[in-house]
């Protein structure tokens, strides 16, 4: 049987049937241990023995598709490692046509079929209660990842009736660019010393997220503002790029050129902030330094800056982040009722 290794720098490989492993989760195939000086950092290999289905997605819409596509691109999982449940036959057919065999329109049936797995909740928050009622009564999940906006860890553990003190729940907020490995994700979890090897599960979630982009581990109290930027802002950035293109089209540039130019200009600007080769240090320097470099005195760009300021550009963006974050706060409150 072919074994696929996510990491190859192994010092110790613990087979999945070892006591240490089985105390964690039986559907992961083995753990890898990396030694850094005297510390041992555990990394989880989810590469799976061929054939095992251990990534179980509840909900197979935009976000699940982006995550799965991104993970497949990195050879983190293969189609047979994935199970997915959807609501409609039409969606199920779409998944099957793409080569996925383990597709369900009945979440209960899927969860009964895969009693030990990594469960990723990818439904709309409004559907969460329905998912809760689809969870088999005898289920004892050890590891759940939720990508739902506005559903706090407390609500997740209270509503999922079979979650015990032994279950690690990770909230992950990826974005749509997961499909091409460019998500800006955040994650949080509640540390529980009573859960044996909890760090293994957290590391597993981190590896999963790293497969589809970057990930920051943050406290849950910061999750909603981070969600507004990491999860939602791609939508606004698409609007911004569209508006850039519209402006140029209004002035006579062809639509196709305008769209390509606008998208590339945004990529380049973002890359300058992130890549220290630009001479910019994102930790310590102000973004205005770069903005000022573009604005020649008495030039063209400063006229654009003036117009944007007059029309409340910064305030509009800032308020959008605040409104989005507050919406998630409100959703959390109404779900906990």
Ligand X SMILES: NC(=O)C1=CN([C@@H]2O[C@H](COP(=O)(O)OP(=O)(O)OC[C@H]3O[C@@H](n4cnc5c(N)ncnc54)[C@H](OP(=O)(O)O)[C@@H]3O)[C@@H](O)[C@H]2O)C=CC1
Ligand Y SMILES: O=C(O)[C@@H]1CCC=N1
Do 245 and 252 touch, CB atoms closer than 8 A?
Answer: no
The entry of ligand X, ligand Y, none that residue 147 binds, CB within 5 to 8 Å by partner kind: ligand X
Q: Which is nearer to ligand Y, 47 or 174 (CB)?
A: 174
- Residue 70 binds ligand Y, judged by CB under 6 A: no
Residues 210 to 229: which contact ligand Y by CB under 6 A?
227
**Nearest distance, CB of residue 63 and ligand Y, angstroms:** 8
**Nearest distance, CB of residue 297 and ligand X, angstroms:** 41
Residue closest to ligand X, measured at CB: 61
The entry of ligand X, ligand Y, none that residue 127 binds, CB within 5 to 8 Å by partner kind: ligand X
- Residue 232 binds ligand Y, judged by CB under 6 A: yes
Interface with ligand Y (CB under 6 A), residue total 4
The entry of ligand X, ligand Y, none that residue 68 binds, CB within 5 to 8 Å by partner kind: none
Per-residue burial over 11-32, b = 16 or more CB atoms within 10 Å of its CB, e = otherwise: eeebebeeeebeebbbbbbbbb
Please identify which residue in 231, 241, 325, 332 interacts with ligand Y, judged by CB under 6 A.
Answer: 231
> Tokens standing for 151?
């559903």
Q: Which is nearer to ligand X, 168 or 175 (CB)?
A: 175
Q: Please name the helix (run of DSSP H) or strand (run of DSSP E) that holds residue 271, with its range, or none.
A: helix 255-274
**Nearest distance, CB of residue 183 and ligand Y, angstroms:** 11
Q: Under the rule (CB under 6 A), what is the footprint of ligand X?
A: 58-64, 85-88, 91, 107, 122-125, 127, 130-131, 147-149, 173-176, 231
298: left (phi over 0), alpha (psi -120 to 50) or beta: left
- Residue 121 binds ligand Y, judged by CB under 6 A: no
CA distance linking residue 32 with residue 3, whole number of Å: 13
Q: Which is nearer to ligand X, 54 or 179 (CB)?
A: 179
CA distance linking residue 31 with residue 224, whole number of Å: 32
**Nearest distance, CB of residue 223 and ligand X, angstroms:** 12
Do 27 and 54 touch, CB atoms closer than 8 A?
Answer: yes
Q: What track of x and - describes contact with ligand Y for positions 140 through 159 (by CB under 6 A)?
A: ---------x----------
CA distance linking residue 111 with residue 160, whole number of Å: 13
CA distance linking residue 124 with residue 61, whole number of Å: 9
Do 140 and 163 touch, CB atoms closer than 8 A?
Answer: no
**Nearest distance, CB of residue 188 and ligand X, angstroms:** 14
- CA distances for 139 relative to 119, 122, 132, 147, 250, angstroms: 12, 19, 11, 20, 59
Note the Cα 318 to chain centre separation in Å.
23
CA distance linking residue 215 with residue 209, whole number of Å: 6
The entry of ligand X, ligand Y, none that residue 160 binds, CB within 5 to 8 Å by partner kind: none
146 has which bridge partners? 121, 171
CA distance linking residue 268 with residue 307, whole number of Å: 22
The entry of ligand Y, ligand X, none that residue 321 binds, CB within 5 to 8 Å by partner kind: none
**Nearest distance, CB of residue 130 and ligand X, angstroms:** 4
Q: Give me the residues that bind ligand Y (CB under 6 A), please.
A: 149, 227, 231-232
């Amino acid at each position: 049987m072919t074994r696929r290794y996510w990491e190859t720098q192994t010092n110790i490989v613990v087979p999945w049937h070892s006591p240490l492993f089985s105390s964690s989760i039986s559907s992961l195939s083995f753990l890898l241990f990396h030694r850094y000086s005297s510390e041992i950092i555990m990394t989880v290999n989810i590469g799976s023995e061929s054939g095992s289905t251990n990534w179980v997605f509840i909900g197979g819409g935009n976000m699940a598709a982006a995550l799965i596509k991104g993970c497949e691109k990195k050879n983190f999982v293969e189609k047979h490692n994935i199970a997915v449940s959807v609501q409609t036959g039409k969606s199920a057919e779409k998944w099957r046509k793409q080569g996925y065999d383990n597709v369900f329109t009945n979440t209960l049936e899927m969860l009964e079929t895969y009693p030990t797995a990594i469960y990723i909740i990818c439904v709309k928050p409004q559907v969460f209660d329905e998912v809760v009622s689809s969870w088999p009564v005898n289920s004892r999940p050890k590891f759940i990842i939720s990508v739902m906006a506005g559903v706090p860890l407390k609500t997740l553990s209270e509503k999922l009736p079979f979650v015990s003190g032994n279950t690690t729940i990770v909230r992950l907020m990826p974005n749509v660019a997961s499909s091409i490995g460019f998500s800006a994700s955040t994650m949080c979890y509640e540390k529980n010393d009573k859960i044996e090897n909890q760090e293994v599960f957290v590391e597993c979630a981190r590896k999963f997220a790293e497969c589809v982009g970057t990930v920051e581990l943050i406290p849950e109290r910061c999750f909603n503002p981070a969600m507004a930027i990491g999860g939602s802002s791609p939508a606004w950035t698409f609007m911004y790029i569209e508006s850039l293109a519209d402006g140029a089209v209004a002035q006579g540039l062809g639509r196709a050129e305008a769209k390509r130019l606008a998208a590339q200009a945004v990529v380049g600007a973002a890359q300058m902030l992130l890549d220290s080769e630009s001479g910019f240090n994102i930790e310590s320097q102000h973004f205005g330094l770069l903005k000022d470099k573009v604005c020649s005195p008495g030039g063209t760009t400063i006229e654009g800056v003036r117009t944007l300021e007059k029309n409340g550009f910064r305030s509009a963006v800032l308020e959008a982040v605040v409104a989005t974050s507050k919406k998630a706060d409100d959703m959390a409150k109404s779900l906990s009722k």
